[in-house]
Structure 1
Amino acid sequence: MKLIKLIKQALGAMLLMLVAHSSFAEGITFQENKTWKELLTMAKKEHKILFLDAYTTWCGPCKYLQRNVFTHGDVATYYNANFINAAIDMEKGEGPTIAENFGVTAYPTLFFIDGDGKLLHKSVGALEAPELIALGKEAVDPAKQYYTVKAKAAAGQLSASALAAWAAKAEQMEDKDVEKIITDYVNNPAHNWLSKDVLTLVFDYGGAIPDEKMAYLLKNKAQVKTLMQWTDEDFDAEFKRKATLLAFDKASKGETLDFDIYKSTLTKYIPKEAELETRKVKVKYAFINKKNENGVKEFISLVNDGTALNLKIYDVASIVIDNAEGIAPEEQSTALIDKIKAYKLIADDAGKEYYRNFALMVLYYYKEDKDTAKQYAEKIKADPDAPENLTNVADKVING
């Protein structure tokens, strides 16, 4: 009886192994024990694209794909029919070299590569089965392959609407080339700026606008507003953003910034705000360059003159949030706190006391005065107009 029991147990174990093997067989068939060169050779010989799952052993979304998506029947059917499939740990063997060559920055990254090693398409992060199939269909379509379309975009071969569609995806993928490609396109004299597609590229994806184009936008403000369905406030906000980009480009001198050039450029386009914006940049620039003492001094000066400059309390809070760690240890941080407490809000900031309280809460928190930080957190919580994102942070301060 004991022997029969052992035999049954052994048969049961074998059955489990067979079931597991069967389940694996129904998933994507990944090539094993193949070098990178051999994988490319296979892809070229079979006239297929190489699908590469670039993963690591510690990556949770990678494991989700491997267990729940690559094993899906429809996924396996499509990928086994259309691709040479490989899954490579980016931290072992040839993995680190492949990761460097293709600029892997997150896991999982899913690549589609031709037999010559040319990158055609890419996606970052885990996908569900229908999404992975849709991704595969994009990868085999030259009109949808990300890098094939990117090459056309860089060569100026796309329409403005097609370029905008590519740019939207490029931003999602954090493609560092998108701004230059769009800027080169819109600055081509052949492209009409008084069309919605081109203006969308200009404002949503492009970089700084040259002086002559800034003047052109101002001259045609009414038509731009109509095309983009903007109010005066919308136009002014977008125009200001472009003016600051142009000022920054002109004022940048290597690793330094010429504040006189910055201000003079802004004076040309947003004269009423040029002084304020330049002063704000001086504060931010000091902190960026780790000149915290100078940054605090500039910040105190800015708040001191803020009402006359029309400084919004939101901007005060933003500077504090971005630089609190550098502000807190400085000797004059207490003087800055006093200035923020005494700051008279401009008319547009009526009812926005929560921004002042948030700035003070953050500063006291970084100065390790948790009791006072909690007092300001309570004020934020008690303010019915305080935005949810501020009250959520206040909750965390209160609850330690």
Structure 2
Amino acid sequence: MKKITLGLMAIFAFSLAAIAQDINWLTMEEALELQKKEPKKIFMDVYTNWCGPCKMLDKNTFQTEDVAAYINEHYYAVKFNAEGNDEITYKDKTFSNPNYDASKEYRRNSVHEFSRFLQIKAYPTMVFFDEEGNVIAPIQGYLKPQQLELYLKVFESDKYKEMTTQEEFSEYVKAFEPEFAE
């Protein structure tokens, strides 16, 4: 009986995992190439391997069905290790991490040139790019699903273009009614 119960619990756990939707993460080059065929904005998660809030964002926010579904439908999603060793070509310039130390893969490492170019100062940072691959805005820090929803929707809808002052953005935030589950 104990084996049957454990077996049923394993099947149930597997079924729940199958229901969870994952974000379709790409490289920056893949996202930029896809933009040429089907223009969409880019959502970039800038993280490091040692960053606790980055891991929380992955587990508590990116794993939620509402967030994953919205990002997959409206954005090309890019996962970028700000202290990693990948080469990135952006706007005809190649960025690398010449001081990368493989022995520090899971500790603080040298900052990637692309991170410096984007002026990333904290982790996690989510960077939004328009349909031509131009930076719209970086958003720093850990966000819960409904907090991220606000930014996903304001940038995807281009409403940010109508807001020229901090006061206008504050009014948008006050009026925003989240739809994502917490």
The TM-score with structure 2 as length reference comes to: 0.65
Matched to 2:71, the amino acid is Y
Q: How many residue pairs end up in the alignment?
A: 141
Matching residue of 1:30: 25
2:147 to 101, 122, 131: 131
Looking at structure 1, the residues matched to 115 and 16 of structure 2 have their Cα atoms a distance apart, in angstroms, of: 31
More helix by share: 1
Asked whether the equivalents of residues 44 and 114 of structure 1 are also in contact (C-alpha less than 8 Å), the reply is: no
Extract structure 1 runs of 4+ deviating beyond 6 A. none
SS of structure 1 residue aligned to 2:165: helix
CA distance in 2, matches of 1:22, 1:144: 35
Q: Map 1:11-26 onto structure 2 (within 5 A).
A: 18-19=14-15, 22=18, 26=21
Letter in 1 for 2:157: D
Contact 1:29–1:80 under 8 Å retained in 2 = yes
Distance 2:158 2:13 in 1: 41
Deviations 1:109-136 (A, max 9, x none): 0011134331013210011111111110
CA shift in 2, pair 1:41/1:114, >3 Å:
farther
Alpha-carbon distance in 2 for matches of 1:58, 1:42:
30
SS at the partner of 1:144? helix
Q: Does 1:61 align with 2:53?
A: yes
Counterpart for residue 70 of structure 2: 78
Aligned in 2, Cα 1:63/1:16: closer, same or farther, shift over 3 Å? farther
Identity %: 28
Q: Does structure 2 retain, via aligned residues, the 8 Å contact 1:43–1:115?
A: yes
Question: Structure 1-normalised TM-score?
Answer: 0.31
Structure with greater Cα Rg: 1
**1:165 maps to what in 2?**
167
SS where residue 24 of structure 2 aligns? coil
Aligned to 2:102: none
Asked if structure 1 preserves the Cα contact closer than 8 Å seen for 2:40 and 2:76, the reply is: yes
User: Equivalent of 1:113, from 112, 120, 129?
Assistant: 129
- Cα distance in 2 for partners of 1:41, 1:108 equals 25
